[in-house]
Chain A
Amino acid sequence: MKRILQKLIVAAALRLVHAALVELCKLDPYVHAQFCSLPNGTSYSIYTGHGAPVLHVRWDGQKLLRLKEVRERATCELHLKSLADSFLMFTGQIGLAQGYARHAFSMQGEIADVMRLARLVNRAEAYLFPSFLSRRILPELPSLPVPSLRLYGHLIFGFLTRSYS
């Protein structure tokens, strides 16, 4: 039962992170610039444990697309070593740096691509989590050009209009 609940929460968190990055690409010039520095077609796959949710995304030069399935290996694959690790990371109990320090994931691809993703995910977490939580998991709180509430507004509208599937 606990595992099923963790899977559901991790699946929801993966969708939220993807949706937040899609919106932030439009709202936050820093995130937009980070995406624009990626070569078109750069793809990421995040596996969260055995039989656990997976997120495949690809940057097509304009938007971060979520893919239902992939035929070839992503540019960069992150494999969380257990669902327990994924749950800690996607519920904001540990950040990406702590996850790395704990050997919580293995990675196939170039480390530079993980660092690019890390900057984006850290930024998204700074928006999504309340500041007392972000302060605990991020090395430093960035100054954000857009209030979190505005992002949440866009996300609610986006989910209602099925913009992220």
Chain B
Amino acid sequence: MTPAYFEYQNAVKILCGQNALDRIPDELRQWGASRPMVLTDAVLMKLGLAELVVDLIRAEGCPPASIFTDIPVDSSLGVVNRVAAVFREHNCDSIIAVGGGSVIDSAKGVRLVLSQETDDILSLSGVENISAGRHVPFIVVPTTAGTGSECTGVAVIRNEAQGVKMEFLSPFVEPDAAVLDARMTLKLPARATASTGIDALCHAIEAASCLQKNPLSDAHATAAISLIFQNLLHVVQHPSDSAARLQMALAATLAGIAFSNSMVGGVHAIGHALGGVCHVPHADVMAILLPHVMHFNLPRARDSYASLLPHMIGMDAASSVPEEERAQAMVNAVSHLTEHLHRLAGLHLRLSDLGVKEEDMERVAETALNDGALIVNPVALDRERVLDLLHRAY
């Protein structure tokens, strides 16, 4: 059903496919930029992925004015403020983020600080509360196929003082361009391929079943689920299949556009809290929580889940499932997929495997209740219910 009112926004130009990376210098030129700052992390430097981008833009006559390689796995507000200062020190004029969720979201924060001409990202926290500001050209090169952050209007950054993940929601958080090039995900290990793929699946499922869902977000979400169904298991087993890698990158971007326009839900609310309190990797937590939260949401998400089944298991298989059993079949299909990925790639299935401690659960539950994603979860979640879900996933 079409909601009485909804909004849709996606202003990100998507450069997708063969030699996409090589187009970055021209994109910068079109924005009038010539002194980019490259943001990445130490692991990507070591793998040579950041270097690949740096070499390409150098060869095309657009050498970086600064390369910042110290974005931590679990970035924070402090890191964002420091990087913005380095950007100013080196007189950079644009940002190229090469990395996964932490690098991309940090870069979004840096861009916000610069465009709003402030020194502290914390002063900008809120929802749709800032105006356009100064334009700082911003290109994102994702190195995982999961976060979708390259196409979203939200940055999730850890507040180290409070031990919580903070969300900054604004259309001006969206990058100018996202570069999807299979070369960037070819070296992704099997388990990370699996967990980030499930993160993308989670974005699509939550986007298509939360209270903010709308026909345009649904279209992107279902397209993402179909691509994940067709490619995730394959790419885990055949990691060097460039075509399948690109399909997964596209799936993650589609899912990103979906949830950027309809939000996520309980999996992400609890996942953000686990990330903030226990410092566990986002994608791993998503893979563990998704089946449990879907099972919990089932009574209120029956129609949404049923409509996703053909995308999740294929039209033929779905048509043989009686209509009244399709929603439950969707939940089962997600469970089976994570179990299959556990056997194939060692995907974690329990929070205890990630080192989450039982004594942290109370704090995680309290933190999750204050996460913005909870407001649109189809079923109301209170402290007891979150604790119950955490124990089931433990």
Q: A residues touching B (Cβ–Cβ < 8 Å)?
A: 79, 96-98, 100-103, 105-112, 114-116, 118-119, 138-140
Contact = CB atoms under 8 A, between A and B. Distances in A.
B211 A102 contact: no
A121 to B, nearest CB: 12
B125 interface: yes
Nearest to B128: A106
B154 to A, nearest CB: 10
Contacts of A109: 125-126
Contacts of A101: 3, 6, 211-212, 262-263, 376
A102 to B, nearest CB: 5
B127 interface: yes
B127 A107 contact: yes
A106 B129 contact: yes
B3 A115 contact: no
Given A101-B6, A103-B7, A110 B375 contact: no
14 contacts: A100-B375, A100-B376, A101-B6, A101-B211, A101-B262, A103-B7, A106-B128, A107-B129, A109-B125, A111-B126, A111-B169, A115-B371, A115-B375, A118-B375
A100 B126 contact: no
B125 A110 contact: yes
Nearest to B214: A101
Contacts of A98: 211
* Prevailing SS type, chain B contact patch: loop
Interface in B80-129: 125-129
Contacts of B371: 111-112, 115
Contacts of A100: 212, 375-376
A147 to B, nearest CB: 21
A102 B166 CA distance: 21
Given A97-B211, A100-B376, A115-B370, A106 B126 contact: yes
A104 B4 CA distance: 12
Given A101-B6, A101-B211, A139-B379, A108 B126 contact: yes
B167 interface: yes
A97 B375 contact: yes
Interface of B: 3-7, 125-129, 164, 166-167, 169, 211-212, 262-263, 369-372, 374-380
A102 B6 contact: yes
A140 B380 contact: yes
Contacts of B375: 96-97, 100, 115, 118
B372 A111 contact: yes
Nearest to B125: A110
Nearest to B263: A101
Contacts of A107: 126-129
Given A96-B375, A118-B375, A103 B211 contact: no
A111 B262 CA distance: 17
Contacts of B166: 110-111
A61 to B, nearest CB: 20
B129 A111 contact: no
B164 A112 contact: yes
A139 B376 CA distance: 9
For the complex of A and B, 7 pairs with smallest distance between CB atoms? A112-B370, A101-B212, A139-B380, A106-B128, A111-B372, A140-B380, A107-B127
Q: Which of the listed residues A98, A107, A111 has the most CB atoms from chain B within 10 Å of its own CB? A: A111
B128 A103 contact: yes
Nearest to B124: A108
Contacts of A116: 370
A111 B379 contact: no
A109 B122 CA distance: 9
A102 B372 CA distance: 14
B164 A108 contact: no
Contacts of B374: 115
A106 B166 CA distance: 16
A137 to B, nearest CB: 11
Contacts of A119: 369
A101 B167 CA distance: 16
Contacts of A79: 129
Contacts of A115: 369-372, 374-375
Contacts of B7: 102-103
Contacts of B128: 103, 106-107
Nearest to B377: A139
Nearest to B210: A101
Nearest to A122: B380
B277 to A, nearest CB: 13
Contacts of B378: 139
